[in-house]
Every structure is written in structure tokens, then in C-alpha cells.
């Protein structure tokens, strides 16, 4: 029945297949755009909270591209102007990754978290699955107290020893 209608309209199967693939591609692009927006909002909220926790003067800079990097630099003890290394291809970008890792190391230690967690940032550029680990880590630093995490573990150990 459907083929008869399509044949009478002079529509080929290639046209239908192309339209279907085009709609699926558009849907995937929209889904990825929403995913990217969600990640951006989460990242900005986490760094804004970290900035507030460390009494940074302008934690709202976490929402502005490039300014959020300068905020992380300042919180880590570097001058904000290092952000201009973005203008130098490859070498500047590598330098930014190193400075960001050092700055985050210092920020995490101020928040009483192990500094080595900052290594998740440059590794997330190499292995994309580690980007999820980076997001989890900044979420923990932003919204969880490290002493609270470790006290729960030590409390579990004490209760298991009593049994």
C-alpha cells in the first residue's frame, strides 16, 4: 500500500532514506548540543562554588569563557594574563594545560583534597573517558568536604572492626 502511494507520487527510496538519515543526523546534533550545554553549566556551577568556598572575589567569572581560566589561574596563584597563551597554537595550549594542572593542584590542596586529582584535567584531553572523572572530581571539590568523605570511611572501618 505504502509503496503504491510512493510510486504514484514518483518518490524514490533513496529520497526517503536520505531524509531519514538527515533527520537522525539533525537529532544527534541537537542532542549533542544539549549535552554540551549541560556540561558547560555543570562546570561553571562547580567552579563558581569552588571560588566561593575559597573566598575568591569574582566567582561569577566561572561562567565566562577564557575568564574562567584566568579565575582558575588566579586562585592557583598565577597572574590572570597567562590566559593569552591561548593565542599561541600548540605550544601555548600545552603551556595552558600545564599551568591549569599546577593551579588546580594548589586549589585542590587548599580545599583539603589531594593535589594529584588535578592530573585528571590534562588526561581528560588524551582519553575522553577521563573527562567524566574530571567532572566528578570538580563536583566533589565544590560540594563535598574531604574531611566528611574520609570520616565516613573511617567510621565504616571502625564499625566493621567492632563486629
CA-CA distance, 42 to 63, in Å (whole number)? 10
The predicted structure's pLDDT at residue 94: 93
Mean of pLDDT over the chain: 87
Distance from C-alpha of 26 to C-alpha of 20, rounded to nearest angstrom: 10
Minimum mean pLDDT range among 1-5, 128-132, 143-147: 1-5
What are the pLDDT digits (tens) for 72-126?
A: 999 999 999 999 999 999 999 999 999 999 999 999 999 999 999 999 888 887 8
In angstroms, the CA 100 to CA 47 distance is 13
Provide CB contacts within 8 A for 82, sequence distance 6+.
70, 73, 95, 96, 99
Q: How does residue 128 score in pLDDT terms, banded at 50, 70 and 90?
A: confident
Distance CA 102, CA 41 (A): 24
| Burial bucket for residue 95 (CB in 10 Å: 0-12, 13-18, 19+) | middle
- pLDDT tens for 42-56 read 999 999 999 999 999
Amino acid at each position: 500500500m505504502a509503496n503504491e502511494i510512493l510510486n504514484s507520487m514518483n518518490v524514490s527510496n533513496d529520497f526517503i532514506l536520505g531524509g531519514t538519515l538527515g533527520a537522525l543526523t539533525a537529532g544527534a546534533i541537537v542532542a549533542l548540543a544539549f549535552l554540551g550545554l549541560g556540561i558547560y553549566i555543570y562546570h561553571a556551577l562547580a567552579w563558581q562554588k569552588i571560588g566561593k568556598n575559597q573566598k575568591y572575589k569574582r566567582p561569577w567569572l566561572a561562567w565566562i569563557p577564557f575568564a574562567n581560566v584566568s579565575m582558575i589561574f588566579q586562585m592557583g596563584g598565577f597572574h590572570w594574563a597567562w590566559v593569552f597563551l591561548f593565542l599561541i597554537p600548540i605550544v601555548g595550549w600545552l603551556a595552558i594545560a600545564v599551568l591549569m594542572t599546577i593551579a588546580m593542584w594548589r586549589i585542590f590542596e587548599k580545599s583539603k583534597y589531594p593535589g594529584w586529582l588535578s592530573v585528571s584535567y590534562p588526561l581528560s584531553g588524551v582519553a575522553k573517558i577521563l573527562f567524566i572523572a574530571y567532572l566528578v572530581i570538580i563536583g566533589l571539590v565544590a560540594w563535598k568536604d574531604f574531611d566528611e568523605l574520609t570520616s565516613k570511611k573511617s567510621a565504616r572501618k571502625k564499625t566493621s572492626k567492632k563486629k
